[in-house]
Structure 1
């Protein structure tokens, strides 16, 4: 199956965005964390990249029960989620592949005829780039030495989010029964924000436009709120997702818990459901996140730093001498 002619223009726009990533990233920085930062157990995507030298796997198993009141069908869905994330070239850029492979056993009532559908329901590859990080400014990271409250409660400035953008493609390979008629490749774009409301609460939002140029383009949003307990190895989250397309629309709610076993290993569990009956959906999933951490901070050699500091001190000294008119000649070096 080949892409439709109408997809050529979105491809050109996609290439332009990717080139912009490469140019902007030369002057930007991100936040690498000593502890794994996973997108699981929810579906929302963090604004931050994993960091250069980091290879991260996020995977899990899922089961879902569906009942469609209009078509009078019911089904059980078994599947697996997998995502691979890699810090590419510089701190703010991440290469991200994610896929969901499922087998759906479908029963048609009242006759009881059965059909099995098996393929990828998600298969996409893209680049995520951090555009803005409010914590890049060292002053923003300084604690208030005179107020515990200022450091631990919500403040309006905490709503200012980190912002990233994503550009990639969704792949529909072969005769996929879940997306009949779709082209092999269709562009996908997304914006992601992340706000640290307090040291224990984090708010993430995603807005995505998927399957661009196909007969059934798809808009979606995600809003996720996570909370870390006093024992930071445990955290919980609640998440709302909305999907709008002529093929399928829904509003989903998820909630779950994650436990950090090691700085590079996390396990999680979630449950969720939809809000309509065409189809009614209820699901459960469990998974793990693991990273290989070869990250190295890029710091300038000590000798170079000392030389730069010395040159700056000499420049300030010459400026003061000139302003004071003491007749001291500039250092010719």
Structure 2
């Protein structure tokens, strides 16, 4: 029982691509901590909330101000119709207090910096066929070292819309609706390391469209309830460009509840940024396994009749029949 619990918990950190139904896992599959998004969905009929609180300090030497930001992040995810599909709402609501070193008066801004809804669909999963991920029963090393085939990633596509409501001080002049497209990939480098990468084109239809990328590596400790991540994110637009790094920890309380904490900063001074984020993820699991009709099962799913066992059974029946005739 302890061994089974250990294995199920470990799958939380490697996001369980070895399951035949690659979307649903026995433990929560969260995109927290960080900004990089998994290629996998939460699973059909799973409702999941991912919430965070953060504090950020900014100093801008070019514009002669410093500011403090307090805010919250939320993501609501729901898997429906297919194991590969989920819809997701993502929001960030912040209050920024600015103090200027010149004669300008202090200022406070409050509004959404992120307010979007979209859908993500897994288009390719290298682990969909369990035959491609069978363990080597004769070599521990073969199951625990890097293999080139592990670089082949799962790939998903995302499409969504960003909503700018009213006079948003963070996005002055933007239309009420703009659009976002993204690609997310995920590779399992080893049983304890996972690589996730995202590339996105955001605020399509505005005067300041934005390119961004995120690369994240997650490592599960020997105590599989704990994991650590390192992330690099880049943003490029005419309004704002930056490169950020993040690192932090996640802890799994049970199969439906995770907490996390991370720190981050950038490398420029217009503005310089340092932030701390704490959060949690919780899911309501209404998932039910679907039975696959035997005529649609793959060869690996169908029960196999062993010829040797069948021959032995026939010989045994013949012997019994002969003994009864002799009697």
Query: TM-score band, normalised by the shorter chain?
Result: 0.7 to 0.9
Residue pair 1:30, 1:130 contacting (<8 A) in 2 also: no
**Closer/same/farther in 2, CA of residues 181 and 293 from structure 1, 3 Å limit:** same
Establish whether residue 163 from structure 1 lines up as the match of residue 148 from structure 2. no
Establish whether residue 273 from structure 1 lines up as the match of residue 261 from structure 2. no
Count residues in correspondence: 281
Rounded Cα–Cα distance in structure 2 between residues aligned with 1:76 and 1:31 = 39
Residue pair 1:64, 1:283 contacting (<8 A) in 2 also: yes
1:302 Cα shift?
7.9
The corresponding residue for 1:117 is 109
Establish whether residue 254 from structure 1 lines up as the match of residue 246 from structure 2. yes
Partner residue of 1:209 out of 176, 195, 201 = 201
The corresponding residue for 1:18 is none
The corresponding residue for 2:217 is 225
Partner residue of 2:166 out of 174, 183, 200 = 174
Please show how residues 1-333 of structure 1 align to structure 2 within 5 Å: 30-111=22-103, 113-300=105-292
Rounded Cα–Cα distance in structure 2 between residues aligned with 1:101 and 1:31 = 29
TM-score by length of 1: 0.82
1:32 Cα shift?
1.1
Deviation digits for residues 53-87 of structure 1 (CA, Å, limit 9, x no counterpart): 10000001000000001001000000000000000
Moved more, 135-144 or 187-196: 135-144
Gaps of 5+ in 1: 1-27, 311-333
1:29 Cα shift?
5.9
The 3-state SS of whatever aligns with 2:239 is coil
Residue pair 1:67, 1:278 contacting (<8 A) in 2 also: yes
TM-score by length of 2: 0.83
Residue pair 1:251, 1:275 contacting (<8 A) in 2 also: yes
The 3-state SS of whatever aligns with 2:123 is strand
Gaps of 5+ in 2: 1-19, 305-327
